[in-house]
Amino acid sequence: MTYTISNQCIACEKCLPHCPTGAIKKNDNGKFSIDSNLCNDCAGSYGVAQCMAGCPTFNGCTPTISSLIKSAQTTTNNYWDNWFVTYNRLTSRLRAKKETLYWHHWFDTYSQKLNLLPHT
C-alpha cells in the first residue's frame, strides 16, 4: 500500500526524517509528495506508516485510493490467502525491529551474573 500527501498537510516537514525509504519529497512550490515507487508502507521497518504516525494533522498523509481498492479486492478474493499474507507481513515487521543498546546492555549484564551462579 502506498501513501499520498493530502490537502490537510501543513508543510511542517516532520514526516521527512521519519520516512525509511526517502519517498517523501518537497516540490519547488513548497508542497510535499510521496514517490509511489519508493513508498512501501514502511514494511520491514515499522508496524505503521511513519509519515502517517508522525503527522500532527493526522490526515496529512493517507493511503492512496488505488491502494485501498487493491487491498479490498485482495480481501474479497480469498480470505485465507489474505490472512496468511497479512500474518507474514506483520511477523516480518516484528522480526525487523532493531534491538536497542539498552536491551543488549541488560542482556549482557544479567547473562554474566547468571554465569557466575554455581551450577548444581
- All structural domains of the chain, each given as residue ranges with its CATH number in brackets, are 3-116 (3.30.70.20)
55: DSSP letter: -
* pTM listed for this prediction: 0.52
User: Residue 102: what pLDDT?
Assistant: 73
Q: What is the pLDDT of residues 60-114, one digit of tens each?
A: 888 877 766 766 665 566 777 777 887 887 777 666 656 667 777 777 887 776 6
* C-alpha cell, 51: 509519515
User: Residue 9: what pLDDT?
Assistant: 87
Residues 6+ apart with CB under 8 A from 81: 74
User: Residue 42: what pLDDT?
Assistant: 82
**Residue 43 pLDDT greater than 80, yes or no:** no
Q: Identify the residue whose cell numbers are 543498546.
A: 101
User: Residue 11: what pLDDT?
Assistant: 85
* C-alpha cell, 81: 490467502
